[in-house]
Structure 1
Amino acid sequence: MSKLFTEYNIKNLKLKNRLVMAPMCMFCAPENGMVTEFHIMHYATRALGGIGLITLEATAISPEGRISANDLGIWSDEHIPGLKRIVDAVHGYGGKIAIQIGHAGRKSKVPGAEIEAPSAIAFDAESATPKEMTKEDIKETVEEFKQAVIRADKAGFDMIQLHGAHGYLLNEFFSPLTNKRTDEYGGSHENRVRILGKILDAIKPIWKDKPIEVRVTADDYAEGGNKAEDLAIMLNLVKNKGIDSVNVSTGGLVNVAPKAFPGYQIPHAKTIKEMTGLPVAAGGLIITAKDANDIIENENIELVYLGRELLRNPYFALNAAKELQAEIQTPKQYMRAY
């Protein structure tokens, strides 16, 4: 049997296959951050299509922490019922679901919001300069992450993914290009990852037996920025605080586009896995069943994530199983096709 379609267990979470839907912002929530019917249909369709783990798009811990004014939110208890509808829909069609929670930092484009970051450095010439966060601001942000996790638990999510990638707030703390602080949150690897450690300390007692994943940018693609080895060093400093998996991506911190090709981020994931011993999810322009299966079978990687391919083909998993001649449980309504 294709290893892509073998079960995978992480803490108390059992996945039916190794395929993950990457978080992708839909930018269609109303300004109050509430779930819409589109969101429910969108995620349920990928569950019906056989994806083992679906990751909800970036969901903001505060109004000013949104990437755009049309992002989903989790800063209020009023968001819980809508988020639970997504969870119930995904579970109803045989999938498991994670939620990516985060703060956009200096990359927030919410009109009128006071954007903040570890240091007062704008993303580019067209972007506003953020306010440098005080220690009290950092403390409040840690509490916002904690409250978001409490709400995610009430909504029934199976996994938490802390967004530490793509140039958003946690990534800004991690990188020496965006973190010029001289206090205990800047300078050394230990200091730059300190905020993540505090968040993990705050949420681990709440999340208990369910897995916590951290998404990281493993290459800033700029001189003086982080490489995979830097992220591995930082993850090693806090992994005993409750990290169960690392979702490895690259780029987004500065306005530089990487040279992308199918599997271009796999070496970064392997470096982090080898240096930390943590399970990893990896991807990057994966569009074929063979490529996805080869990553699992040949690269010693636990999970493979797909993004845009799942926008084009919500039934990728069912089609991949047919192509790889893997025996899977298909929706009974679709069995005649497989």
Structure 2
Amino acid sequence: MSSLFDPFTVKELTVKNRIMMSPMCQYQATNGSPTDWHFVHYTSRAVGGTGLVFIEMTNVELRGRISEKCLTLHSRDQVKKYKQIVERCHSFGSKAGIQIAHAGRKSQIEGGDIVGAGEEPFSAEFPAPRALETNEVEDIIKKFGESSALAVEAGFDTIELHGAHGYLLHQFLSPATNKRNDKYGNYETFPVEVIKQVRSNIPEDMPLIMRISAVEYGEAGYGFNHVLKLIPAFIEAGVDMFDVSTGGNDPVRPDSYPAYQLKYAETIKNSFQVPVIAVGRLESPQVAESIIQNEQADIIAIARGMLRSPYWAKEASITIGKEMKLPGVYELGYNF
């Protein structure tokens, strides 16, 4: 049986363990670029033993940010700061990924050009978006490719497309938000064209991950079968691995509990013979270990657990009795 602390390989990417720091917005950027906050935040999790450190939702244009404090990767001038984070993570034996996205109608930039698949706002508290023209959609697709090329230049080991949680890719693949009459009214067209554009701008041996919402919540939300029908097209276009979450296209949220989303990841893994990342209240080391041992997922994404402790991986290794040493003198803190 595999363990949480065994390596995992997809294409030419090998991570030293099955632990991933889930992408989580920090709202600490300056003009879209990383700051000292980001350098410390991400590299400290690499020090703590995380196998795959994922940079938060990073948008393909300034208009695509959730807030003015969110990251973008749209200019070569930004590459140096991202590269510094990547190289430092590498120095501690961790791999680094970046989540590429566009907020679409979930942008809350005051006075901004808020755009989406349609004109309906996310909720009464959000501004109403402007429906993108067909040529504007095509331009955003190109920007996904350009951002991915810059990510390769910065040295990232893998890229994740954010097709979940109500952001622009999700808005196009959901019947609740995509009521268009042009070619992008087909739920798979926009995400497939984005996938192909990104794939053409990254090395063939670099794995491309896609985060999806397996189900939506609320009265108009889609069920799991809707996504299952789309996945073959995503794989054919170039997705190598799925990061399986839920919800986000409606303010409605269910009660959550450990592994409440796992069944969707497991089904996708078994149905399509594709590696998956499980996420959602998995910070218990015993729960995370059991998921890997039972072959229900290939990598465990930890979110709030990593916010509480940069050393979640080390502490998990102690809990389940696995050997893992921290760099420098930090290991002394665990010698009792």
- TM-score normalised by structure 1 residue count: 0.95
1:192 aligns with 2:187: yes
1:207 aligns with 2:202: yes
The separation in 1 between residues aligned to 2:84 and 2:210, in whole angstroms, is 24
- Do the aligned partners of 1:218 and 1:268 also contact (CA within 8 Å) in 2? yes
Report the equivalent of 1:94.
93
1:73 maps to amino acid: T
Report the equivalent of 1:19.
19
For structure 1, the 5+ residue unaligned runs are: none
Deviations 1:57-113 (A, max 9, x none): 111101110011100110111111111111111111111011001000000011221
Aligned pairs for 1:178-257 within 5 A: 178-186=177-185, 191-208=186-203, 209-257=205-253
Report the equivalent of 1:170.
169
Q: Compute the displacement of 1:332 (Å).
A: 4.5
- Do the aligned partners of 2:28 and 2:34 also contact (CA within 8 Å) in 1? no
1:307 maps to amino acid: A
Q: Compute the displacement of 1:330 (Å).
A: 3.3
1:295 aligns with 2:291: yes
Report the equivalent of 1:157.
156
- Do the aligned partners of 1:232 and 1:275 also contact (CA within 8 Å) in 2? no
- Do the aligned partners of 1:228 and 1:272 also contact (CA within 8 Å) in 2? no
Q: Compute the displacement of 1:299 (Å).
A: 4.5
Deviations 1:192-237 (A, max 9, x none): 1111111122121321211100001111112342223221211112
Q: 1:223 to 1:272 in 2, by over 3 A?
A: farther
1:294 maps to amino acid: S
Report the equivalent of 1:140.
139
Report the equivalent of 1:317.
313
The separation in 1 between residues aligned to 2:159 and 2:247, in whole angstroms, is 22
2:184 is paired with a residue whose SS is coil
Report the equivalent of 2:302.
306
Count of matched residue pairs: 333
1:179 maps to amino acid: N
Report the equivalent of 2:277.
281
- Do the aligned partners of 2:54 and 2:96 also contact (CA within 8 Å) in 1? yes
1:286 maps to amino acid: L
2:110 is paired with a residue whose SS is coil
The separation in 1 between residues aligned to 2:100 and 2:256, in whole angstroms, is 26
The separation in 1 between residues aligned to 2:61 and 2:24, in whole angstroms, is 19
The separation in 2 between residues aligned to 1:227 and 1:253, in whole angstroms, is 13
The separation in 1 between residues aligned to 2:201 and 2:135, in whole angstroms, is 22
Deviations 1:159-181 (A, max 9, x none): 00001111000000111001111
The separation in 2 between residues aligned to 1:282 and 1:294, in whole angstroms, is 12
The separation in 2 between residues aligned to 1:323 and 1:274, in whole angstroms, is 29
The separation in 2 between residues aligned to 1:288 and 1:126, in whole angstroms, is 34
Report the equivalent of 1:48.
47
- Do the aligned partners of 1:120 and 1:131 also contact (CA within 8 Å) in 2? yes
The separation in 1 between residues aligned to 2:38 and 2:216, in whole angstroms, is 31
Q: Compute the displacement of 1:333 (Å).
A: 2.6
- Do the aligned partners of 1:153 and 1:207 also contact (CA within 8 Å) in 2? yes
Percent identity, aligned pairs only? Answer: 37
- Do the aligned partners of 1:60 and 1:102 also contact (CA within 8 Å) in 2? yes
- Do the aligned partners of 2:4 and 2:19 also contact (CA within 8 Å) in 1? yes
- TM-score normalised by structure 2 residue count: 0.96
1:192 is paired with a residue whose SS is coil
2:200 is paired with a residue whose SS is helix
1:77 maps to amino acid: R
2:153 is paired with a residue whose SS is helix
The separation in 2 between residues aligned to 1:102 and 1:225, in whole angstroms, is 21
The separation in 2 between residues aligned to 1:227 and 1:128, in whole angstroms, is 27
